[in-house]
């Protein structure tokens, strides 16, 4: 902000309103962040604004795995090191980050961008299932690991996928317990997630 431009209450109110829209940011936190940014050096605020814009402008979805990436295909799909016979299916891009953090999985991924939820009107066509089925055509995939969340929507989706994929003669596994019911993958700790991945079972 210029020295001579005093921010109006409207500008602060707008920033609070925008921050308040973010997940897990309540009105109190939004207010605290807004006033923090108001006092922060202009450079810091600019960097945050640029980072937000750049994530919108420079990232795209990988046309193979549907993960968020800055190139298409993404680095994982391009990598020679990854085991191409395994695809781990997750609901959200951040689930991949959690699984990668365990360091024990070397296959490929597929991001559904949601889960089937009849109560919320989300059907099979609203998530990236068609893209997944296309990937299974070539015959190189031997196992699909269903790593959808351990809640009602995640289970419904896993069941639906299992019924579609099993007839293709591809092994279908599901992350083992270890993940308590109701857990979202992105919040699971490394040990729980490792145990769940290692103990995955036929589904
Ligand atoms: Zn990819």
pLDDT tens digits, one per residue of 103-155:
999 999 999 999 999 999 999 999 999 999 999 998 899 999 999 998 889 98
Check whether 2 has a pLDDT greater than 50: no
**How many A from CA of 67 to the centre of ligand 1?**
6
Q: Which pLDDT score is estimated for 69?
A: 94
- Strand, coil or helix: what is 128? coil
Tokens representing 91?
A: 């609901």
**How many A from CA of 119 to the centre of ligand 1?**
30
Q: Got the DSSP string for 1-58? A: --TT-PPPHHHHHHHHHHHHTSTT--HHHHHHHHHHHHHS-HHHHHHHHHHHHHHHHS
**How many A from CA of 122 to the centre of ligand 1?**
24
pLDDT in tens, 29-86: 999 999 999 999 999 999 999 999 988 888 899 999 999 999 999 999 999 999 999 9
Q: Which pLDDT score is estimated for 4?
A: 45
The percentage of residues in the chain with a pLDDT greater than 70, rounded to a whole number, is 94
State pTM to two decimals.
0.74
**How many A from CA of 130 to the centre of ligand 1?**
15
**How many A from CA of 108 to the centre of ligand 1?**
8
45 phi, psi to nearest 5 deg: -65, -40
Q: Which pLDDT score is estimated for 177?
A: 61
Q: How far apart are the first and last CA of the chain?
A: 57
Mean residue pLDDT across the chain? 90
Measured at the alpha carbon of residue 101, what is the angle toward residues 96 and 104, in degrees to the nearest 5? 95
**How many A from CA of 97 to the centre of ligand 1?**
13
**How many A from CA of 68 to the centre of ligand 1?**
8
Give 148's contacts (C-beta < 8 A, 6+ positions apart): 89, 90, 91, 112, 115, 154, 155, 157, 158
Alpha helices by DSSP H, listed for the chain, are 9-20, 27-39, 42-57, 75-78, 93-102, 129-135, 152-165, 190-198
Check whether 3 has a pLDDT greater than 70: no
Q: Which pLDDT score is estimated for 94?
A: 94
- In this prediction, residue 14 has a pLDDT band, given cuts at 50, 70 and 90, of very high
pLDDT in tens, 190-200: 777 877 887 78
**How many A from CA of 25 to the centre of ligand 1?**
30
**How many A from CA of 95 to the centre of ligand 1?**
14
**How many A from CA of 75 to the centre of ligand 1?**
7
- In this prediction, residue 185 has a pLDDT band, given cuts at 50, 70 and 90, of confident
CA–CA separation, 185 vs 58, rounded Å?
26
**How many A from CA of 40 to the centre of ligand 1?**
38
**How many A from CA of 71 to the centre of ligand 1?**
9
Across the range 165-173, mean pLDDT stands at 95
- Strand, coil or helix: what is 102? helix
**How many A from CA of 74 to the centre of ligand 1?**
4
Check whether 6 has a pLDDT greater than 70: no
Residues near ligand 1 ion, CB 5 Å cutoff: 62, 64-65, 73-74, 77
Q: Which pLDDT score is estimated for 81?
A: 95
Tokens representing 197?
A: 């991945």
CA–CA separation, 52 vs 17, rounded Å?
16
Give 147's contacts (C-beta < 8 A, 6+ positions apart): 88, 89, 90, 95, 99, 174, 175, 185, 197
């Amino acid at each position: 902000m210029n020295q001579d431009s005093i921010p109006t209450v409207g500008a602060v109110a707008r920033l609070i309103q925008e921050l308040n829209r973010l997940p897990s940011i309540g009105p109190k936190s939004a207010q605290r962040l807004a006033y923090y940014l108001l006092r922060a050096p202009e450079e810091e605020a600019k960097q945050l604004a640029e980072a937000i814009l750049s994530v919108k402008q420079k990232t795209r979805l990988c046309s193979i795995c549907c993960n968020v990436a800055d190139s298409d295909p993404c680095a994982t799909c391009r990598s020679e090191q990854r085991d191409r016979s395994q695809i781990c299916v997750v609901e959200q891009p951040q689930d991949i980050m959690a699984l990668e953090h365990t360091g024990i999985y070397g296959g490929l991924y597929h991001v559904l961008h949601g889960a089937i939820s009849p109560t919320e009107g989300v059907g099979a066509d609203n998530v990236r299932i068609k893209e997944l089925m296309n990937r299974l055509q070539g015959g190189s995939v031997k196992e699909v690991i269903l790593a959808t969340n351990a809640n009602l929507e995640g289970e419904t989706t896993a069941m639906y996928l299992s019924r579609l994929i099993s007839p293709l003669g591809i092994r279908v596994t599901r992350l083992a317990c270890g993940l308590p019911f109701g857990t979202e993958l992105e919040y699971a700790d490394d040990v729980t997630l490792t145990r769940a991945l290692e103990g995955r079972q036929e589904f």
